C-alpha cells in the first residue's frame, strides 16, 4: 500500500497554526481553496450549524468543490431534506453520497441486529470510517466544521493538521468560533439548516444514536463512553 507523505513539515504546520490562531474562518477557507484547489474535499453531514456555515463559506469561493456525504442508512429524514434544500441553495456542483459496503440487512446478518447498541465503534467503522476513506481517496485536504467549544475532546483541535488515518491535511476553519458566532453567520447569510436544531437537538447524526434535549455532543451514543464516531479522532 502506498503511504502519502505530509505536504508540510512539523515546523511549517506550527507556523500555519500560529498564523491562523488570529485569522478569520474566511481567511482560512480562502487559504485552503488556494493551496489545495482540486485536491480539496468538504465533508458534509447536513446535521449541525457549523457544517452548514463551512459549506456556505467554501461554496462562496469554490462552488465546484468536492463535497462528500456519508449516508449510513440511519440518517434522519430531516437530514436528507436539508441536503435537498441546501445543495441548490448554496450552488454546490459536485456532491457525492458514499454508502457503507454492507446494507442494514447484510450488517445484521453478519454482526447481529442493532450493532450500534452493542458495539458502536464497530458500527461506526463499517458505516462511517470506511466510506470516509473512500471519499477521501486521491484528495489532499479535508475541510470540516469542528469547533473547540463543541466538547472536551475537541478543545485542542488544530486549525491545520496532518491526518494520519486518512492521509490528508485536515483544516478546521471554525476551530476558534463559538456556537453564537456560528449561528449568527448561518442566520445572517440565510444558510439552510437542519430543522431538528429548532426541536431540541444540538448534535445530529444517526437516529439510532442521537437524542434531543441534551447540550453539545452529550446526546450522542447515550450509555457509552463515546462522543466521537472516529472520523475526527
Residue written as cell 463515546? 226
Interface segment toward ligand SF4; rule CB under 6 A; list 12-20, 82-90, 122-130, 131-139 = 122-130
Quick one: 149 or 228, whose CB is closer to ligand SF4?
228
Quick one: 179 or 228, whose CB is closer to ligand SF4?
228
229 flagged as catalytic:
yes
Quick one: 197 or 209, whose CB is closer to ligand SF4?
209
- Check binding of 229 to ligand SF4 (CB under 6 A): yes
Residues 176-214: b if buried by 16+ CB within 10 A, e if exposed: bbebebbeebbeeeebbbbebbeeebbbbbbeebbeeee
- Check binding of 128 to ligand SF4 (CB under 6 A): yes
- Check binding of 176 to ligand SF4 (CB under 6 A): no
Residues 69-108: b if buried by 16+ CB within 10 A, e if exposed: bbebebbbebbeebbeebbeebebeebeebebebeeeebe
List interacting residues with ligand SF4 (CB under 6 A).
Answer: 72, 74, 116, 120, 123-124, 127-128, 205-206, 208-209, 229
Amino acid at each position: 500500500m502506498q503511504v502519502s507523505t505530509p505536504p508540510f513539515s512539523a515546523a511549517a504546520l506550527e507556523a500555519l497554526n500560529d498564523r491562523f490562531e488570529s485569522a478569520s474562518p474566511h481567511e482560512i477557507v480562502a487559504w485552503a481553496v488556494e493551496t489545495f484547489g482540486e485536491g480539496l474535499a468538504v465533508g458534509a453531514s447536513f446535521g449541525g450549524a457549523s457544517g452548514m456555515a463551512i459549506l456556505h463559506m467554501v461554496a462562496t469561493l469554490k462552488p465546484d468543490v468536492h463535497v462528500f456525504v456519508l449516508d449510513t442508512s440511519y440518517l434522519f429524514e430531516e437530514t436528507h431534506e436539508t441536503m435537498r434544500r441546501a445543495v441548490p441553495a448554496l450552488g454546490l456542483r459536485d456532491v457525492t453520497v458514499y454508502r457503507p459496503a454492507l446494507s442494514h440487512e447484510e450488517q445484521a446478518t453478519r454482526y447481529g441486529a442493532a450493532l450500534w447498541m452493542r458495539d458502536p465503534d464497530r458500527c461506526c467503522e463499517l458505516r462511517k470510517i470506511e466510506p470516509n476513506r473512500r471519499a477521501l481517496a486521491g484528495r489532499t485536504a479535508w475541510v470540516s466544521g469542528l469547533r473547540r467549544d463543541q466538547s472536551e475532546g475537541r478543545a485542542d483541535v488544530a486549525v491545520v493538521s496532518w491526518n494520519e488515518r486518512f492521509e490528508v491535511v485536515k483544516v478546521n476553519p471554525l476551530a476558534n468560533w463559538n456556537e453564537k458566532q456560528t449561528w449568527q453567520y448561518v442566520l445572517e447569510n440565510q444558510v439552510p439548516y437542519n430543522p431538528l436544531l429548532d426541536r431540541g437537538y444540538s448534535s445530529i447524526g444517526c437516529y439510532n444514536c442521537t437524542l434531543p434535549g441534551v447540550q453539545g455532543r452529550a446526546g450522542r451514543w447515550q450509555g457509552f463512553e463515546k462522543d466521537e464516531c472516529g472520523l475526527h479522532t
